Amino acid sequence: MDKEEMAPRDDKVPHFLDFPAELIIAVLDYLPIRDLNQMCETCRRLREVCSQLMIWKKLGKGYIHFENSSGRALITNVKSLSSKEQCRIAHNWSTGYHTEHLYTRFKTGLLPWLQLTNDHLYISVMNKICRYKLKPGGRLHPLQHSKKEVKYTGHSQDITKFVVKENNVVSSGGDGRVMVWDKASGRTIQSLQASLCSLTSVDATRELIIAGTNNRGVQVWSQSDGREVRTVPIRDRVWSVTVDPSQRLFATGTSGNTDYNSLKVWDIGTTQSTVCGENKRQGEGILDLHFESSDTLLSAGYDTFVRQWDIRTPRLPVMEFEEPSDNAVYCISSDNNYFIAAGYCRHGIVRFWDKRRSDICIQTIYVGGNVKSPVYSLQFNKHCLYAALSHDVYVLDFGAYKLKHEQYFSPFEQGTVLSQF
């Protein structure tokens, strides 16, 4: 053999990691899920490439995957999540895996209310509202490291409901007052006194404040000068009020203790009403309402159903989701696409419903270890579920990683153990 052939070559042998990302992806697409998980643990380069594979999006379609397509953004920082991370979190929602944290506890039993925005969680505590900062992605800082950035005060009795709208926080209270604060500073902008006894619910547009009362009526004020615009007489106690995204309509839900229809949709300009549902039953009070779009309304209440309405054809509901244990529905929340979360009157039960499968509840969660309290309010984003009970506010983190010993099998590939997925 010639000496030239035996001499070592100066040419550097190409390494797999030196290939373009497109070529690495083409090779890795042939690997099963278990091997892809192991490849993600080898080095930073492969972790970045593997996390963006299209296989994660295909796999995630079979899980509870909150994906908004209705024009109203689901509260989350989606850009910070890779395809693999989104799939992992969706898998946790589907299997019910989470870590539960008791975020705050009240000394007495209350009816707290929650509101979630992109950056903050708002919690009503007796006659004030506290605001807490969220981490990127939608998680809360631990309470001991979390400052109540702003407190909104001014009510003399407990706050019944509140909403965060644009630059303001608007609340209704048992003292018959509507308070309007500047969201950033907590400065009081307006304090409006109702003429119809205590207030039970509130919502607002850019120009108007609409509040339901405990004395059979809805009062409307002007946001600019606090002038009372009109009173809408209703022959029943109003439990819930909500404004649609276009701010042309508002819906009211009443207690159902009279012959008055419990659910109506009103035109804000003319106050003409449309009745939702043709059969009135005694005691079917509406406790919570949510507009998913200008034409789609969700309602829930004492008759144990969550209903979806198309207000263009309101005679019958489009879909119904019946609670299997015959429990009243206290609150609802939605991703404005396929999934609805509902809180019930017993044992801290939260159920998730899929509009594509109205016949079965896709997930049931017992908040607080099967406590006796109802779930009075709930909010959720891609990472967490926030639930307010009578004495506690809980944070259920579905973005948590499983420990090494918490292994389970993927339903998409029999025999594949996903210890980190």
Determine the Cα–Cα distance for residues 306 and 328; give it in Å rounded to an integer: 10
Residues of the chain with CATH 1.20.1280: 3-93
Query: Cβ–Cβ contacts within 10 Å for residue 126, how many?
Result: 15
Global confidence as pTM: 0.84
Edge-to-edge strand order for the sheet containing 384-388? 99-105, 392-397, 384-388, 377-380
Q: Which CATH class is domain 3-93?
A: mainly alpha
Question: Is 347:371 a contact under the CB 8 Å cutoff?
Answer: yes
Per-residue pLDDT at 406: 52
- Name 350's Cβ contacts closer than 8 Å, sequence gap at least 6: 341, 342, 343, 344, 364, 365, 366, 367, 375, 378, 385, 387
Per-residue pLDDT at 133: 87
Q: Which tokens sit at 229?
A: 């615009």
Determine the Cα–Cα distance for residues 271 and 249; give it in Å rounded to an integer: 9
Per-residue pLDDT at 312: 92
Determine the Cα–Cα distance for residues 25 and 2; give it in Å rounded to an integer: 41
pLDDT tens-digit profile, the chain (421 residues): 455 555 555 556 677 777 777 777 777 777 777 777 777 777 887 777 777 676 677 676 667 767 544 334 444 444 467 777 788 888 888 888 888 989 889 988 889 999 998 888 999 999 999 999 888 766 777 665 555 567 899 999 999 999 999 889 999 999 889 999 999 888 999 999 887 678 999 999 999 999 998 877 899 999 888 888 888 888 888 999 999 999 999 999 998 887 778 899 999 988 888 888 876 666 688 999 999 999 999 999 998 999 999 999 988 999 999 998 889 999 999 988 889 999 999 889 999 998 888 778 888 999 988 788 999 999 998 889 999 999 999 999 988 887 654 554 443 333 333 434 4
Q: Which tokens sit at 355?
A: 């509009």
Per-residue pLDDT at 137: 64
Residue whose token pair is 């949510």: 290
Determine the Cα–Cα distance for residues 282 and 259; give it in Å rounded to an integer: 7
Per-residue pLDDT at 317: 92
E strand spans, 228-328: 228-233, 238-243, 249-254, 263-267, 273-275, 286-291, 296-301, 305-310, 319-322
Per-residue pLDDT at 139: 74
Residues of the chain with CATH 2.130.10.10: 101-397
Q: Which tokens sit at 162?
A: 């509140």
Determine the Cα–Cα distance for residues 226 and 182; give it in Å rounded to an integer: 15
Per-residue pLDDT at 113: 95
Instruction: Return left, alpha or beta for 256; rule: phi > 0 is left, psi -120 to 50 is alpha, else beta.
Output: left
Q: Which CATH class is domain 101-397?
A: mainly beta
Residue 228: closest CA among 265, 190, 200: 190
Per-residue pLDDT at 60: 67
